[in-house]
């Protein structure tokens, strides 16, 4: 894996990559196809089970850099559980009062059991309600 120019980068912790497609894995079981013969479901395809979501963010502070971008910091308590955080929604732009939008980021602070979400934009909207979504691998 290559990340930010680093070759053979191995992230810390546990992770999995999920796709939204079925694979013909089961020797027996159930399969469903759509009208164009595309496989929609195979009982042998491992699935992620969404376990919970959290929207109890507390606004903590705003910072402004030399270019005028505001970064808003939101925090939520997070206890150690055996779940995975879905990062898709933490990597997309959000709306703001300009044509650039808000950049987003999410970080775990394991030492304080906090989940941090940041938004960065030229304008400074405080409204924030994007959920943190958690899942487990189905067994």
Per-residue pLDDT, 3: 47
Q: Looking at residues 78-99, what average pLDDT do you find?
A: 76
Instruction: Please say whether the dihedral angle defined by the alpha carbons of residues 10, 8, 87 and 98, taken in this order, is positive or negative.
Output: positive
Q: Among 14-23, 70-79, 98-107, which stretch is predicted with the lowest mean pLDDT?
A: 14-23
Q: What angle do CA 133, 42, 131 make, to 5 degrees?
A: 10
> Phi and psi for 116 in degrees, rounded to 5?
-110, 135
Please check the confidence at residue 73 and state whether its pLDDT lies above 90.
Answer: yes
Question: To the nearest whole number, what is the mean pLDDT of the chain?
Answer: 81
Please check the confidence at residue 39 and state whether its pLDDT lies above 50.
Answer: yes
Nearest Cα to Cα of residue 119 among 89, 78, 84, 79: 89
Total length of the chain: 139
Q: What residue segments make up the domains of the chain, in order of their start?
A: 1-46, 51-137
Please check the confidence at residue 64 and state whether its pLDDT lies above 90.
Answer: yes
Percent of the residues in the chain that have a pLDDT greater than 90, as a whole number: 19
Please check the confidence at residue 5 and state whether its pLDDT lies above 60.
Answer: no
pTM here is 0.69
């Amino acid at each position: 894996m290559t990340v930010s120019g680093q070759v053979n980068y191995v992230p810390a912790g546990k992770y999995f990559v999920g796709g939204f497609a079925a694979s013909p894995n089961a020797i027996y079981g159930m399969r469903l196809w759509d009208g164009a013969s595309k496989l929609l479901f195979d009982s042998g395809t491992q699935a992620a089970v969404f376990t919970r979501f959290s929207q109890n963010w507390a606004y903590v502070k705003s910072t402004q850099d030399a270019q005028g971008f505001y970064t808003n910091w939101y925090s939520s308590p997070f206890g150690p559980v055996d779940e995975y955080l879905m990062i898709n929604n933490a990597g997309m732009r959000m709306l703001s009062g300009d044509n650039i939008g808000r950049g987003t980021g999410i970080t775990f602070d394991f030492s304080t059991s906090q989940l941090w979400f940041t938004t960065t934009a030229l304008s400074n909207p405080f409204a924030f309600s994007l959920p943190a979504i958690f899942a487990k691998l189905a067994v």
